[in-house]
A and B are shown apart, each in its own frame.
Chain A
């Protein structure tokens, strides 16, 4: 017990640093994947057949393979195969490579959610807007967008909670996120070695984070309950 109390501040300090990296990856992915997902979504409904086709294949590949493999390929492929290591070997290079992999991966999932949201809005909404003389963009932004947001919020919330946990996959290319930081105490770090409890302790970080997100997203859903 004494050792635990001695170790706790050291471990928490180290896990905090790791979790900051987790959060950074989470937010960067969200900020990048939401707009990219919308672009992919519009692209996959494009009038140009080859664009549609290429995006379909792309979405199929990304959703059909593990994110872990995608991380490894994006991080190692340029250096090992093309002999052109674009990422650099330090933490910021690993973070950059992770961000790219996560953004691409999550944009594909988001785009499918957006697509579902768009097709769930009845054409009557478009037609009502058109006969009132609105432009297509006015109809999208003023009439359909909020209805879409309301409809995609539940699947989106799911995906966002999954993203928080998925960030731990970046450990495979040694990104120093929270689980990586917890694991370090097993091998030995800052005078502590052979300790497994810091690894288990990381779960609390995810729990608190996802708890807050659940409250936030639930509140947003509640806010949109004023219409049907």
Chain B
């Protein structure tokens, strides 16, 4: 069964249609890259998946279960959204780390707050918190940040911040991890270290959706690629299909700029 099914998602801001009838499916452990020019709706699509925006039409299913249906108000309830959005993780272009917490605390915070609601929290607080801490340290180790655990975000480089943000998202054990241009705010030298950990996650079979302008990376890491243009999914296929045999003139034009550059 597909881990993610996105059916006929549409979204408008005031009078501009930003997403138009977006459909795609993803299998578990696959990596989907979304490419496309500025303003084509890539960020908006990821935000709809994470419920930071609410699509005006369409259905989203995770592992066969509906997590969003634009025609059913039930899915707009705060508590329902809070539960359903945990299927998805989000890594932002600008990291959005919490500045007053160390790298480790950033990774642990949401998990600790979640644990407070467990029925046996009071009795087992110590064990639960130790477990959360161990997991967080493991994730930071995986991100190559063991030495930086107790640093605050302002003491870290952009690449390190982004890796903390990835660890923070992974801590919630999302089914699908979304990246919105994770390296766009980074110096070219720091881009590599972030792409490397994303690639490692792909090798560990993490299901991921990556919005990126790094074409070589997208071609290399993805199982499938979507090219978006003006709110439409214009091209949808394997990296070979999209990059080497694009069907649409618009895609060729877009890719041409990168091949020349």
Q: Which A residues have a C-beta under 8 Å from some C-beta of B?
A: 122, 124-125, 127-136, 138, 142-143, 146-147, 150, 226-228
Contacts and interface: CB of A to CB of B under 8 A. Distances in A.
B6 interface: no
A134 B98 contact: no
Contact of B154 (A124, A127, A228): A228
Among A133, A134, A150, the most chain B Cβ lie within 10 Å of the Cβ of: A133
A145 to B, nearest CB: 10
B88 A133 contact: no
Contacts of A143: 98, 109
Contact of B52 (A125, A130, A138, A226): A130
Contacts, number: 64
B92 to A, nearest CB: 6
Chain B, interface residues (CB within 8 Å), range: 20 to 34
Contacts of B29: none
Nearest to B106: A128
SS of A interface (majority): helix
Contacts of A142: 109, 113
Contacts of B194: none
B158 to A, nearest CB: 14
Given A131-B90, A132-B168, A133-B172, A227 B100 contact: yes
Contacts of B98: 125, 128, 143
A226 B152 CA distance: 8
Given A227-B154, A228-B99, A131 B82 contact: no
Interface string B20-52: 000000000000000000000000000000111
Given A130-B85, A132-B172, A227-B152, A124 B96 contact: yes
Contacts of A129: 110
A131 B89 contact: yes
Nearest to B82: A133
B4 to A, nearest CB: 16
Contacts of A131: 50, 52, 85, 88-90, 169
B94 A124 contact: yes
Among B52, B98, B99, B101, the most chain A Cβ lie within 10 Å of the Cβ of: B98
Given A128-B97, A227-B100, A228-B99, A133 B52 contact: no
B86 interface: yes
Contacts of B100: 146-147, 150, 226-227
Given A130-B85, A131-B90, 7 more contacts: A124-B96, A128-B92, A131-B88, A132-B172, A133-B110, A133-B114, A227-B153
